[in-house]
Chain A
Amino acid sequence: MAALDTTQSAELTRQPPRLMLAEPILTMRGIARIYGNVTALGGVDVTVYPGEVLGIVGESGSGKSTLLRMMNLEDTPDTGIYNLALPGHEGRNLFTLDRFERRMLRAHHIGIVYQNPHLGLLMNHTSSGNVAERLLIAGNRNFAELRERARQSLDASEFPIERMDARPNELSGGMQQRVQLAKAIALEPAILLLDEPTTGLDVSVQALVLDTLKRLQRERSITMVLVSHDLGVIRTMADRVMVMRRGKVVEQGLADQIFQDPQHAYTQQLVHAKL
Chain B
Amino acid sequence: MNIQVSARQAASPVLRVQGLSKQFEMHHLKRTLFAFENIEFDLNAGEFILLKGENGAGKSTLLRTLYRSYLPRAGHVYYHTQEGIIDLATAADVDIAVLRRREIGFVTQFLNARPRVAAEEIVAEPLRLAGTPHSEALAEARRWLDAFGVKKQLWSAYPSTFSGGEQQKVNLARALILPQRLLLLDEPTASLDYSARRALVERLTQLKASGVAMIGVFHHPDDVKALIDRELHLEAIKIEDEQDDVAE
Q: Do A and B bind each other?
A: yes
Q: Which chain B residues in 63-97 approach chain A with CB under 8 Å?
A: 64, 68-71, 81, 83-84, 86, 90-97
Asked if A22 contacts B93 (CB within 8 A), the reply is no
Contact A254 B83 (CB under 8 A): no
Q: Is A260 an interface residue (CB 8 A)?
A: yes
Whether A261 pairs with B71 at a CB distance below 8 angstroms is yes
- In Å, the complex CA distance between A15 and B93 comes to 10
A contacts with B: majority SS: mixed
CB proximity to B under 8 Å, residues A229-275: 239-240, 252-254, 256-257, 260-261, 263-265, 268-269, 272
| Chain A nearest Cβ from B171, distance in angstroms | 16
Known: A21-B99, A22-B94, A265-B27. A257 touches B69 (CB 8 A): yes
In the complex, the answer to whether B27 meets A268 with C-beta atoms within 8 Å is yes
Interface centre among B24, B25, B86, B94 (most CB of A within 10 A): B94
Closest residue of B by beta carbon distance from A21: B98
A36 within 8 A of B: no
Q: Is the CB of A52 within 8 A of B97?
A: yes
**A19, B92: Cβ atoms under 8 Å?**
yes
Residues in A neighbouring B97, C-beta threshold 8 A: 49, 52, 239-240, 254
Report B-chain residues with C-beta under 8 Å of the C-beta of A263: 25, 71
Considering the chains assembled together, what is the distance between the CA atoms of A94 and B197 in angstroms? 56
Report yes or no: A260 in contact with B64, Cβ–Cβ below 8 A: yes
* B114 proximal to A (CB < 8 A): yes
Please determine whether A256 and B95 come into contact, CB atoms closer than 8 angstroms: no
- Check if A17 sits within 8 Å of B90, measured CB to CB: yes
Which B21-64 residues sit within 8 Å CB-CB of chain A?
Answer: 24-28, 64
A264 to B27, CA, bound (A): 8
The answer for the CA separation of A260 and B186 in the assembled complex, in Å, is: 15
Q: Which residues of B contact A22 (CB under 8 A)?
A: 94-95, 98
Interface centre among B64, B97, B98 (most CB of A within 10 A): B97
Considering residues B25, B86, B117, which has the most beta carbons from chain A within 10 angstroms of its beta carbon? B25
A254 near B90: Cβ-Cβ < 8 Å: no
Check A254–B93 contact: CB distance below 8 A: yes
Whether B93 pairs with A240 at a CB distance below 8 angstroms is: yes
| With A22-B98, A269-B28 as contacts: A214 and B83 at CB distance below 8 Å | no
CB-based contact A261/B24 at 8 Å: yes
CB <8 Å contact, B70 and A260? yes
Q: Is the CB of B24 within 8 A of A254?
A: no
Q: Which of A197-251 contact B (CB under 8 A)?
A: 207, 211, 214-215, 218, 239-240
Chain A contact-residue range equals 20 to 34
A16 proximal to B (CB < 8 A): yes
- Residues of B in contact (CB 8 Å), total 29
Cross-chain contact of A268 among B28, B68, B125 (Cβ < 8 A): B28
A18 interface hit (Cβ, 8 Å): yes
Type the 1/0 row for A122-160, where 1 means its CB is closer than 8 Å to any CB of B: 000000000000000000000000000000000000000
- Taken together as a complex, chains A and B put the C-alpha atoms of A49 and B28 apart, in Å, by 34
Bound form: Cα–Cα A15–B95 in Å:
12
Within the complex, the shortest CB–CB distance from A171 to chain B, in Å, comes to 21
Write the chain A residue with the least CB distance to B61: A261
Residues in B with CB closer than 8 Å to A261 are 24, 64, 69-71
Does the CB pair B28–A265 fall under 8 Å?
Answer: yes
Please tell me if B116 contacts chain A, counting CB pairs below 8 Å: yes
Question: Are A19 and B91 neighbours in the complex by a CB distance under 8 Å?
Answer: yes
> Which B positions have Cβ atoms within 8 angstroms of A?
24-28, 64, 68-71, 81, 83-84, 86, 90-99, 114-117, 125
New A-B contacts (18) at CB < 8 Å, excluding given A254-B97, A257-B70, A269-B28: A18-B94, A19-B92, A20-B83, A22-B94, A22-B95, A22-B98, A49-B97, A52-B94, A207-B115, A215-B117, A240-B94, A240-B97, A257-B69, A257-B71, A260-B69, A261-B70, A264-B27, A265-B27
Q: Which 4 residue pairs are nearest across A and B when measured between Cβ atoms?
A: A265-B27, A261-B70, A21-B98, A256-B69
Question: Could you list 25 examples of A-B contacts with CB < 8 Å?
Answer: A16-B92, A17-B90, A18-B92, A19-B91, A22-B94, A49-B97, A207-B115, A211-B115, A214-B114, A215-B114, A215-B117, A240-B94, A240-B97, A252-B93, A254-B68, A254-B96, A257-B70, A257-B71, A257-B93, A260-B64, A261-B71, A263-B71, A264-B27, A268-B27, A269-B28
